[in-house]
Chain A
Amino acid sequence: ETGVTQTPRHLVMGMTNKKSLKCEQHLGHNAMYWYKQSAKKPLELMFVYNFKEQTENNSVPSRFSPECPNSSHLFLHLHTLQPEDSALYLCASSRVERAYGYTFGSGTRLTVV
């Protein structure tokens, strides 16, 4: 149990489907993040939420839509994805005081067919 829970663990979706990834933390953290990990690439920051407000969108295509209804929950809504979007999507949370680092979830392995 890492303290950050992601569901589902695996997801296969067609290019016309709509799905959502969920992330939940009860660590009292005030920042939450979505990262993408593709094969042989660094972890890529997608979105940052600080106290429920989105503070960063790293030029992510609009087919990825984040939602942060409260400081404990984070969603990533997916629609009309492409096969190249297949990757491991990691959620993380932290205190804004960076010394604590991030706590990651186990990730959702997404395959777009």
Chain B
Amino acid sequence: DQQVKQNSPSLSVQEGRISILNCDYTNSMFDYFLWYKKYPAEGPTFLISISSIKDKNEDGRFTVFLNKSAKHLSLHIVPSQPGDSAVYFCAASDSGAGSYQLTFGKGTKLSVIP
């Protein structure tokens, strides 16, 4: 049973427009969420995170929104750039379990078209 779901395997966006990547989770105990970015032949790299006590976190062009009642988070990239083309993974953790481990989604491949 997948606890973290990224239902869109791919997304194409025009350069300069907004990219919105979505993630849903089922475990209500998750209280910390992260987004990772992965280029081909490289490992995932940390992008941005959010704690469940917040509903928004912003870092430059990247903003993550969390809707706890809907168990949904999204990553907004604006404006999108061709270098943003990569696979984006959503991840979550449950600190109450005394665990620092992450549960990942399947990823969404973003293509930014020049």
Please report A residues at the B interface, Cβ cutoff 8 Å. Answer: 2, 4, 6, 9, 31, 33, 40-43, 45, 48, 56, 90, 92, 94, 96-99, 101-107
Q: Which of A31, A102, A107 contacts B46 (CB 8 A)?
A: A102
Q: A42-B104, A56-B101 are in contact. List 7 more A-B contacts (CB 8 A).
A: A2-B43, A9-B41, A42-B2, A43-B104, A98-B95, A101-B34, A105-B43
Q: Is the CB of B41 within 8 A of A102?
A: no
Using a CB–CB cutoff of 8 Å, the interface residues on chain B facing chain A are 2, 4, 9, 32, 34, 36, 41-46, 49, 89, 93, 95, 100-107
Whole-angstrom distance between the Cβ of B8 and the nearest chain A Cβ: 13
Q: How many Å from the CB of A76 to the closest CB on chain B? A: 15
CA–CA, A92 to B42, complex, Å? 12
Chain A residue, CB-CB nearest to B46: A101
Asked if B100 contacts A94 (CB within 8 A), the reply is: yes
- Chosen A-B contacts, 24 in total, with CB atoms closer than 8 Å, are A2-B43, A2-B45, A6-B43, A9-B41, A31-B100, A40-B106, A42-B107, A45-B101, A45-B103, A90-B44, A92-B43, A94-B100, A98-B32, A101-B46, A101-B102, A102-B102, A103-B46, A104-B36, A104-B44, A104-B45, A106-B41, A106-B42, A107-B41, A107-B43
Across the A-B interface, the 8 shortest Cβ-Cβ residue pairs: A104-B43, A43-B104, A98-B100, A101-B46, A42-B106, A42-B104, A104-B44, A106-B43
Count: A-B pairs, CB below 8 Å: 59
Q: Which of B49, B93, B101, B104 contacts A48 (CB 8 A)?
A: B101
Cβ of B102 and Cβ of A41 under 8 Å apart?
no
